[in-house]
Amino acid sequence: SQQGEEDPQALSIQEGENATMNCSYKTSINNLQWYRQNSGRGLVHLILIRSNEREKHSGRLRVTLDTSKKSSSLLITASRAADTASYFCATDAGGQNFVFGPGTRLSVLP
């Protein structure tokens, strides 16, 4: 698997439910970032979590990081139809550029 790989590949939920996406990586990191991409647009940064942090919140978003398992999760609570997008994690693999995973395609049904 590649550095920064999300699962599931696709997720479909009803509006109001919570959505959880996971990201696994292989090598040590300085930080991990989550991005969202709406169809036909560029990526939008959501949250950055540093390697010495375990959890961060931003509005309805909650990100956790477990460096011992080399994994992160993104939780979106009380999902809305507008949350429909692809979600990517990005890891720096100790370097200065970033490696993006293949993404999770989230569909929130009204």
Chain-centre distance for alpha carbon 20: 9
**Which CB sits closer to another protein, 25 or 98?**
98
x/- track of binding to another protein for residues 26-65 (CB under 8 A): ----xx-x-x----xxxxxx--x-----------------
**Which CB sits closer to another protein, 83 or 92?**
92
Rounded-to-integer distance, Cα 81 and Cα 105, Å: 13
CB 100 within 8 A of CB 4: yes
Tokens of 87: 């979600």
**Which CB sits closer to another protein, 18 or 57?**
57
**Which CB sits closer to another protein, 25 or 35?**
35
Tell me: cis bond preceding 8? Omega within 30 of 0 counts.
Answer: yes
Work out how close the CB of 43 gets to another protein at its nearest, in angstroms, rounded to a whole number: 5
Work out how close the CB of 16 gets to another protein at its nearest, in angstroms, rounded to a whole number: 27
Strand partners, 45: 35
